[in-house]
Structure formats: structure tokens, C-alpha cells
Structure 1
């Protein structure tokens, strides 16, 4: 074989099995797939292969022109769906709580306790009836994007996914304690699925496009194009090769820019301090990192249990009403629990909250979220998980500061959010970038933030290994 045929001349035993007209077997058969090499066929003087670098080796989902055109369509569609979901969410929040801009928590605090309870009761009645009818008349249709991504079987239903997303955003707007990102993530995945099937992409390319669309949905509504791309590549697709990273980045960027039609182009959490490194933060990260990992396992296991045993059939008509009413009653005392938890995290990032309040929110937020999920409600766990980590980090930071003062509560909260997100998602790289991109700060404390996230994820992976996404997948039917 000539040098030009071996992708810039890989020679001897050290040369990888990647060549200009090379082959690669599929996972399920000995089918041969031919791949083009770089345009320049002349090797560098060493005669080493251009694809010897691990992340440049061809992937089974290697993009081609048709894939890139499909990707553009998916990116634009995902950005538009993200805007639509947020129009629904913000519209309901405005009607229910006279919310315009700024802090949703503050809008909730300005209404009476009775108003809060009634709003959640309405959410329960609407959600229960709507989900019951939807699941009855779309039985057998799938909205499990993660299931399709990881098992490679089935296809997503547009009508069930779209209606599920709308219902979810409405009840979150009324105050339900679930994440708003599930809807745009699902609609991004649906866009990827439909466009891939319409353009007749290969099964591997379809899987990549679904992952890219799902990550782009997260990117669009939170203005986190880099974090959304890493979410798609590291967590959903499971590879950081260049064949995966480039499409993931492109889809997230296109979706995010498209979403600027309606959504703002700034950080989700505004006004945070430019945190500075303190030795106390690093020592604290080493001490509490494993604690975050253990608590993350308990959190994920709880969400797995309530997801598996969540209400179905006719029980779902009444279950959300009961669950949301309980949340409304608790919310009379703790309005921070309303919605996905964004403002709860924002407050502690800014250094607010007493030790008693933060510990109470850390205990209550997972419980009310589990209550909502167990009632049969559809929604995400991204922001509820982040906010739980933030208040826990803030609380433990306040205790630590009693003995070793100097660092701000907000810095500990940011580290805690990243650690719980990384271990809870089993995706530390994506979690770190998402926290930095959501806040536009944190680079000054990047070392303790990384240490806590690494230790937490390592402990969680060693003890259990499930994530807030894999643990909620439905039972496999054999």
C-alpha cells in the first residue's frame, strides 16, 4: 500500500488502520464502509498518518454534505422550538403571577399564599387531565429521546413530544418543581430524528443528529452553545472525537443564534461576582467533593425510584393535583421551591440565604421535585439538580467559613452546583462548562471547582454509576 493510500503515510506496526480508501466494519456486520481521506494526500516528512491522533479517527457517523445540510435544518428548527417553549412558559408565568422580567421568585413572593396554592391546584387539574388524555390517545408513541439514543431502537413521535412539551411548560409556569429544559431538549431530538429519517441518513448519523438536536435544545434556552455541545457529545453520544464535536458545536451555535430572535443574549445568572481563588476553597473542595458524590447517588436513586413507580392510567388525573397542592402549601413558607429552581440558585450565587434557609431548601427541593415527577408529570431535572447543588454548596461553605473565613458563599455555591451536576449527570466536563457558561464567571476558582467535580463524579461512579438521565429510563420490554 502506498503512502498516499495510507492517509499521509502511516508505516509499520505503529500506523493505525485508517486509510484514504480504508475500511471499517460496522458493529453488527462485516459491512465495509469506504471513507475519504484529507484532500492533501502527501504525508508530512515523518510519514506518520494524519489520523494517528485518536480524536481524528473516523467515526461510524462520519458527517458528509447531506448530514451537514440536515444539521443546519435541525439547528434552526431547534432554536425556533426553544423560543416557542419559552413563549409558553413566560406567558403562563405572566398570567399566573404577573411576572415580566427579572426574578420569578420575587413575582411569586408578591402574591398571597392562597394565590400560590390555587395556582398549583390549577396546574394539577390541568396537568393531570391533559397528560391522561395525551397518553391514552397516543399510546405506544415514544417521547424517550435518551432511550432511542442509547439503545438505538424506535423513533420519536412528533405529536406526543410536542404536546407533552407544551403541557410541561404550562405547569412549570404555574409553579411545578421540574426543569424547563426537557421540552426544548425533546423537541431538538425530535427535529433531529425527523430530519434524519427524511434525508435517509445512516442509523449512526441519525443517532448523532438526534444527540446534537437534544444538546442544541438545552443550548438555545439557556444561551450556552458550548455547554450544549458538550452535553450532546459527552453525555448523549458518548464521544469527544472531532467527527462528533464539530456537528455538536455547529448545531448548538445555530440553535442558540436562532433563539436570539426571542431570548436574550446574556448569561442566565446575571450580576455574579468575579470570584477569586482562596486556599480555603481548595481544601474545602477536597473535603466535601466525596460528600457531594455520595449525596448525588442518593438523589439519583430517589429520582429513579419515583420515575419507575410514577402514577399512570387514571391515577394520573388526581395525582398531579395532590402533588402540586402539597407543593403550593409548602411554597407558602418557601416560595423559592416554585418552578425549576433557577432563582433559588441565583440567590445563593449572589451570596444570599441563611444557613437554616439553605439547609431547608437543600432538603425540600429534591423532595418536592420527586413528588412532582412521581405524580406522573413530565419535565426535566437539569436546573432542579443544579439548584440543589448550589444551596448545598452554599450551606457547607457557610459552615466552613465559621472555621476558615475568607471566601464568599457564592463561590462555594458555584463549586457545589458543578460538583452535583457533574456527578448527577456522570458528565463532569459538560457540567463544568455549563456552570461557567450559565454564570459567565468562575474561572478564578476553576481549580477547586474542578477538584470537587472530579471527586464527586469519581465517588458517584464508583458507588453506583447511574445519572439523572439513565436512571429514569423506562423498563426494557423483552
Structure 2
């Protein structure tokens, strides 16, 4: 037994996992759980559609097969149900709520289980009844909930818990759109506003794990089926990239329409369920003229990609869809606006291709213009051009559009931001600006300290190293005061010499001058101590010198990244 412990101790010295590696492992687990939550929600929607309509081949097809009276009333009835569920969620205590963006940027990085599930249920009622809104919102919320639950279970400090929620959100986006790279960048670029490796690395791992999990369970085909086309080169490529100009001027108008609808519904003196029912009734009325307004627009975009549409039909569908989206979101329905944004960009790109064909026949392939239009409009609305480029590439798996897409996204972003500084996720900067400041070591405290006591046997010290797998073990005296620390590499020579295990560990092992901070030590002072200490952890003492826990360098870096993002 002694030799086995010694072997593990020596192996630990060389193979012990770092805090960074542990973070990546937790990110992978969150990615798997986030993918399962996302897939579960999507399959639940399909099952509900089959139960209600006897089919689940797309909401547009369902709308076409319904009698007109039911096509009119179904979104209204769904809105009433969604509003009633959402009203129940809003009556819960604030501590049990929180949107995933708020959890990442504000507060303690916690999401309420019941609150999140009720919002997802409300969104499901809107989606399956034909509401013109995306289903990705509740998907990402439920995936982020997995990160929040893991963080609460592990009792990690606030910066680490926020990162875990962010990993869940990245997993949700990656699974919803089969776009792992863009999923990670969506959270990094829009919510965290940072591409630092301390946060981007775990996001990428979570998105990768989610993508692998989804690939094992469901079809991993591209979201949009791109027909074959010859990618433009030279001057036609510049012409194609000019779709970004259209997106840059169009996105502020689209966002203004959504703001106006929201303001209009706020002035209507109706209870929340009735407001959502009224919004659904608007969608139902519009669907009498065009069933394509039902749903998030995904199937319509694929249809436009595959066939020739008259410009009049495209313009009519675009106008009606804009009104349907405004009616749904303005009424207060819970859901995503991401996919409807892609719809508007796709139809805009298709109209651009028709106009370009009149001026320069054969120069701009219609599928390429549709894809570039989606990306440019997404960049113009989200103010995240890098994410938009990668999102379109991953959703279409077509490299031929990437080069003009890059310029189009930058143009769309630049013009839109000039005309309207606030993006579609305008609340995130304000949330970050009001996030509570973490100013002391106590704010980053972790309590699972690895300790032994003065006078313990060498065997007890070896067992502590094997159990905790850390480079240092903290030493406490009889009154629980911090006496110093013992380093693993100082113990290793004694193990090799075969020192008696039942003897007390030698006093020479103790580093009584080991760096430490106090609960009230400001973070800038903690940073100074870390600058001269190569380790990952620092012990934290209370006013009486007793060990309260420790802080990690990774948590400190994450906290500083948040503060710098705000500034």
C-alpha cells in the first residue's frame, strides 16, 4: 500500500491537472448538458406539433394545411397560453429569475430553474402556434441553465460561475445552428465583449462538446441547403459584397420597427396574456394572405435558396413577415430574434440578386447573394461582424461566399453602427456597466482548501497530496491558524528515500513565509502578490489569522477581464 501511494504521489507531481485544464473539463461537461437541453427542447416542440396538428414538417406547411379560421385563431390562442405562463413566471421572486445574458453580465451568474423552465414553456406555446419568432432564445436559456446549475453545485466564485453560464449559452447556440465556432464567438463578441483566451478557450471547448453530442444524436446537416453555384471573382465579387450597403441602411429601420411595435403594445391597457393573444391574432390575420409568416422563416429561406421567386412575391413576403415579427415581439412574446433577422437578410439578398441580374446578367449568383445578405444583415443588427461571417459559413458549409461576406459584414456593421449605435442586443452594455464590482479577495473566495495540521504523520501528508492533487498543501496549527504551506516537490525526495510513513512530517518542509492575503485585501493588492508568486492559488486568512479559503489566479483574471470590458 505504501509503494502504491508513493507511486501516485510521484505521478501526481508530473501529471497533476492545472486550474485551466479543470476549467476546460467543466466546460466540456456543460457543453454536453447544454446540447442535451437544446435537443430536448427542439424534440419537445416537434412532438407538440404532431400532437396538435398531426404533422411536424414545418410551421409553414402546417399553416397551409389548416382551414382559414384556424390559421387565424391558432397564433392568438397560443399567445394567450404563452402570456398566462409568462405572467406566472414574472410573479416569481426576482432572485428566481434572470435571462442568460443578465446572468453572464450582471449579478452572481445564477439562473432560476423554475423561472427558466416557465419562460421556455411560454416560448414553446408561441412557437408551436405559429408565432413569428425564433426558437433559439429558450434553447440557449436552457443550455445556459446547465452551466448555472453546475456553477452553483460546485460553489465557484462569481467570475467562474458567469463563465460557466456563458459556456452553456455557447453550447446552446452551437447546437441550435450546428455552428460551434460561431456559437462561441456569439457569446464572446456580443455578451462578454472579449476574445481573451481565459474566456474564449472554455467557450470553444463547450461549443465543441455540444457539437459532438448533437452529431451523435441528431442529423448534423447544414442548417441551410445551398445549391451548387460558381463563386464570383473580381468585379462581381465587389458587387456581391455591396449587399452590405443595403444591410447597413436596412438594419436600423428593422430595429426601429421592432422598437416601435414594443412601444405601441406597452401603451395598450391589456393584461399580458391578452397582449400576447392580440399579437398572435395579428400574425394569424397576416397568415391569411401569406402562410409563410408563420414560424421563424427557416423553411422559407431554404425555399428561396432552391428556386426562382418573382421579386413581387419576395417583396410581399418580406413586408408581411416584418409585420408578423413586429407583432409577435412587440406583444412581449419570449423567443429569439436571431433567425427572423437571418430571414430578412436572406430576402434582401434575393431582391439584390434580381436587381443585379437586370444590370449585369450572370454576375451575381442568387444563392450567394442570399447567403451574403443573411450575414451582412446579421452583422448590422448584432454589431458582431466576425461572428456573422463564421455563422453563415458554418450554417451553409460553403466557402465560396466567405470572401465577399467578410467585406459585406464589415460594411453592414459600420453603416448600421453609425446610424444606430445600439444593436439588437442593446441591453448588454448597460448590464455590464451596472454589474456589481468585485473588489476584495472575499469576493473571489473558494473554500475547498487542501490542509494538514502541525504534527500530522508523513502518511497523512502524502494522502492529502494524493486526494487534493494540488502543488501545495496548507498547514494549520491547533487553533486553526494558518502556519504556512508544504510544496509537493519538497516532499518528493523524502518519498524516494523511503522515510517512515508513521513519523511526523519534517518541520523543514514547512514554508512559513508562504504568500497569503486577507479577506479584505483589495484585488489590486492580490494581483501584486500573484505577480511575485508563480502558483495558481493564494491562501486567504481572516482577521484572526485563520484560513478562510483561497483565491485562484484564473478567477482574478476573469474578474479583471469583466472590469476591462466595462471600461
- TM norm structure 1: 0.80
Shift of 1:134: 2.5
Out of 185, 189, 196, which is 1:230 matched to? 185
Give 5+ residue unaligned stretches, structure 1: 1-38, 40-61
- For residue 206 of structure 1, what is the aligned residue in structure 2? 161
The change in CA–CA distance for 1:316 and 1:466 in structure 2 (over 3 A counts) is: same
Alignment of 1:258-269 (within 5 A): 258-260=213-215, 262-269=217-224
Partner of 2:462: none
- Aligned match of 2:369 in 390, 412, 423? 412
Q: Residues 74-98 of structure 1: CA distance to partner in whole angstroms, max 9, x if unpaired?
A: 1122111111110121122223443
1:228-283 per-position Cα deviation (integer Å, ceiling 9, x unaligned)? 12212222222223333321111012122223454312111235324521556433
Cα distance in 1 for partners of 2:19, 2:141 equals: 22
Task: Output the CA distance in 2 between the equivalents of 1:323 and 1:172.
Answer: 13
**Greater C-alpha radius of gyration:** 2
Which structure 2 residues correspond to residues 344-355 of structure 1 after superposition, within 5 A?
A: 344-355=300-311
Alignment of 1:51-90 (within 5 A): 64-90=20-46
Shift, 1:471, TM fit: 4.7
Tell me the residue number matched to 1:365. Answer: 321
Tell whether 2:129 aligns with 1:161: no
Q: Matches of residues 34-433 of structure 1 in structure 2 within 5 Å?
A: 64-101=20-57, 103-138=58-93, 141-152=96-107, 155-260=110-215, 262-270=217-225, 272-279=227-234, 281-307=236-262, 311=266, 315-406=271-362, 407-433=364-390
Q: CA deviation at 1:219?
A: 0.9
- Which has the higher mean CA deviation after the structures are superposed, 316-325 or 255-264? 255-264
Structure 1 residues 103-142: Cα deviation after superposition (integer angstroms, max 9, x where no partner): 5423332333223223213212211222222222455643
C-alpha contact 2:191 2:428 (8 A) present in aligned 1: no
CA 1:210/1:474 → structure 2, altered by over 3 Å: closer, same or farther? same
SS across alignment from 2:38? helix
1:420 offset after TM fit, Å? Answer: 0.4
Aligned residues: 416
- Pairs within 5 Å for 1:447-466: 447-466=403-422
Contact 2:275 2:331 in 1 (8 A): yes
User: Greater share of strand residues, 1 or 2?
Assistant: 2
**TM-score, normalization by structure 2:** 0.68
Gaps of 5+ in 2: 1-13, 436-567
- How many Å separate the matches in 2 of 1:395 and 1:286? 14
**Which shifted more, 336-345 or 356-365?**
356-365
Q: Which residue of 2 aligns with 1:435?
A: 392
Please report the RMSD computed on the Cα atoms of aligned residues, expressed in angstroms.
Answer: 2.7
SS at match of 1:64: helix
